[in-house]
């Protein structure tokens, strides 16, 4: 077993892993120790990891099957569909809308993400942090009465509800996104399949209504749950360094990328996404969910990323 230590990042959640080289093979005992630490701390930080795409993918696979990002073909690597480009720029220099909202990855699917591993390769001079919140604490700190009202109920998650999506997409594009990714009902109190604990599972970005209630009726309660979740004592704010890799648990955390930087400067990261257990159900049974394996795969264009020495080569070939 490889020896490593953990340094807490905050009292809310998170630990830095010291002593693990993500490029090196890991034995089963070390992988299990990392999983145990991940379940305890929710997010794990690995500093100074100059990863290639292949190394990023290989390390991620220690923890489960990877998504091929068929739902967002524009931003997946053309040769490595397990790699998703997370950026404020498209190829050719076009800026993207970046005003993000709190969310959990793939909550709009019937197989939400178990985890995500985000690798930092280019940063603006200042800003561009990511915040994470502990959704175990969010659930545990609700009153027993409100817990009893919410437990067993579902919230509707809709990919087209995201503010930044609506700002930049035409009505035809939104309809196509919804066709490919129909809204899904997810449990509001979701049981973590690794820890057995309940976590609040609603998302500011995608949750639009509580099942059995109208959107108008749902909105005040959902807003309360969002506000309740992200109080300072539940949150860790991460200031990125080149070569950082953050591994977070989408079953027990939400995150948000902050748009507090000069948008003439690029912020580029690469993500792998761990598929979780099946959860939820499609809201419209008459609208079939296309099999990701047979969806068309438009060519993704990755920007050539000029990296400082020591952060690895991540250029499209």
Tens digits of residue pLDDT in 142-178: 999 999 999 999 999 997 775 555 555 667 766 776 6
Per-residue pLDDT, 98: 59
> Residue 308: pLDDT above 70?
no
> Residue 241: pLDDT above 90?
yes
Pick the closest to residue 271 from 18, 72, 110, 95 (CA basis). 72
Average of per-residue pLDDT values in the chain? 86
Domains annotated on the chain, with CATH: 5-289 (3.60.130.10)
pLDDT in tens, 41-55: 999 999 999 999 999
> Residue 57: pLDDT above 60?
yes
Q: pLDDT band for position 315 (50/70/90)?
A: very low
Phi, psi angles (nearest 5°) of residue 217 = -70, -35
- Cβ contacts of residue 32 below 8 Å, gap of 6+? none
Of 65-69, 73-77, 121-125, 283-287, least confident by mean pLDDT is 283-287
33 vs 161: CA distance, rounded Å = 38
> Residue 14: pLDDT above 60?
yes
Per-residue pLDDT, 259: 87
- Cβ contacts of residue 53 below 8 Å, gap of 6+? 77, 79, 80, 83, 270, 314
Per-residue pLDDT, 2: 78
8 Å CB contact between 113 and 104 = yes
Per-residue pLDDT, 262: 87
> Can you read off the two tokens belonging to residue 40?
């305890």
Strand order in the sheet with 113-122: 5-8, 15-18, 43-46, 245-249, 113-122, 268-275, 84-87
- Cβ contacts of residue 195 below 8 Å, gap of 6+? 39, 252
Per-residue pLDDT, 294: 29
Give 253's Cβ-side CA count (13 Å radius). Answer: 28
**E strand or H helix at 58:** helix 53-60
8 Å CB contact between 15 and 6 = yes
Q: pLDDT band for position 180 (50/70/90)?
A: confident
Q: Name residue 254's beta-bridge partners.
A: 133
192 vs 217: CA distance, rounded Å = 28
Q: Which residue has the higher pLDDT, 146 or 316?
A: 146
131 vs 133: CA distance, rounded Å = 7
Nearest-Å Rg of the Cα atoms of the chain is: 19
Helices (H), 236-290: none
Per-residue pLDDT, 144: 98
> Can you read off the two tokens belonging to residue 308?
């400082």
Q: Which residue has the higher pLDDT, 71 or 198?
A: 198
Q: Name residue 198's beta-bridge partners.
A: 191
8 Å CB contact between 204 and 102 = yes
> Can you read off the two tokens belonging to residue 201?
């599972």
Strands 253-257 and 130-134: antiparallel
Phi, psi angles (nearest 5°) of residue 120 = -90, 125
């Amino acid at each position: 077993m490889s020896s490593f230590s953990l340094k807490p990042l905050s009292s809310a959640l998170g630990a830095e892993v010291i002593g693990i080289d993500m490029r090196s093979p890991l034995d089963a005992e070390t992988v299990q120790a990392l999983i145990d630490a991940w379940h305890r701390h929710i997010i794990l930080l690995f500093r100074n990891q100059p990863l290639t795409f292949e190394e990023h993918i290989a390390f991620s696979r220690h923890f489960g099957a990877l998504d091929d990002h068929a739902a967002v073909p524009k931003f997946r690597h053309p040769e490595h569909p397990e790699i998703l480009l997370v950026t404020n720029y498209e190829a050719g220099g076009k800026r993207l809308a970046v005003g993000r909202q709190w969310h959990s990855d793939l909550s709009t699917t019937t197989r939400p993400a178990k985890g995500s591993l985000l690798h930092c390769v280019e940063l603006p001079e200042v800003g561009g942090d990511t915040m994470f919140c502990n959704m175990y604490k969010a659930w545990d700190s609700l009153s027993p009465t409100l817990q009893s009202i919410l437990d067993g109920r579902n919230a509707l998650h809709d990919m087209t509800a995201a503010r930044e999506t609506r700002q930049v997409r035409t009505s035809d594009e939104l309809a196509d996104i919804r066709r490919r990714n129909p809204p899904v009902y997810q449990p509001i109190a979701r049981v973590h399949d690794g820890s057995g604990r309940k976590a609040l599972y609603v998302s500011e970005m995608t949750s639009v209504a509580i099942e059995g209630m109208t959107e108008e009726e749902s909105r005040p309660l959902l807003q309360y749950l969002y506000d309740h979740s992200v109080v300072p004592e539940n949150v860790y704010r991460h200031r990125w360094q080149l070569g950082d890799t953050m591994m977070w648990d989408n079953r027990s955390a939400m995150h948000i990328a902050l748009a507090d930087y000069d948008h003439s400067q690029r912020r580029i990261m690469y993500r792998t996404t761990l598929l979780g257990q099946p959860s939820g159900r499609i809201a419209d049974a008459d609208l079939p969910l296309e099999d990701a394996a047979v969806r068309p795969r438009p060519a993704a264009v990755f920007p050539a990323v000029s990296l400082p020495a020591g952060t690895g080569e991540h250029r499209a070939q």
